[in-house]
Amino acid sequence: MANYRDRRVGQEIMREVNDILRKRVRDPRVQDITITDVRVTGDLQQATIYYSLLSDLASDQQKAQQGLDKAKGLIRKELGQRLTLYKTPELIFERDESVQYGNHIDELIRKLNQGE
């Protein structure tokens, strides 16, 4: 039988990181960030946190990444206090490209429908 612990831990991390970003992190660079997915390695040592941003500007995306990198220590400390894990996973923040890709596909479909 497969072990689903990594997925359950990923869901818990996603819920808690969203809460931490809303309530504890005061950095204005991370205010509009939404956590879309968390992938945890099988040994629970690393967690890759995917986020999306409402703005498409490259400068806003860079500022958001810098803000998350700056707040990484606080987020990990809070996770350690909230989760009952032996070791808190190392956090890696990556921008989720799927939202932007979905918007691009929607735009292409709209253009096709306008042509008819």
2-8 contacts at long range (C-beta below 8 A, 24 or more positions apart): 3/42, 5/44, 6/40, 6/41, 6/42, 6/44, 7/40
Dihedral, 66, 70, 72, 75 alpha carbons, nearest 10: -110
Query: Percent of the chain at pLDDT above 70?
Result: 97
Confidence of residue 70 (pLDDT cuts 50, 70, 90): very high
Give the pLDDT of residue 98: 82
Give the pLDDT of residue 92: 94
Confidence of residue 116 (pLDDT cuts 50, 70, 90): low
Task: Please provide the average confidence, as pLDDT, over all residues in the chain.
Answer: 88
Residue range 50-66: average pLDDT?
A: 86
| CATH number of 4-114, picked from 3.40.190.10, 3.30.300.20, 3.40.50.300, 3.30.230.10 | 3.30.300.20
- Residue 22: pLDDT above 70? yes
Enumerate residues 6+ apart whose C-beta is below 8 A from 5: 44
User: Residue 37 has which token pair?
Assistant: 């997915």
104/99: higher pLDDT: 104
User: Residue 20 has which token pair?
Assistant: 């931490």
- Residue 113: pLDDT above 90? no
- Residue 1: pLDDT above 90? no
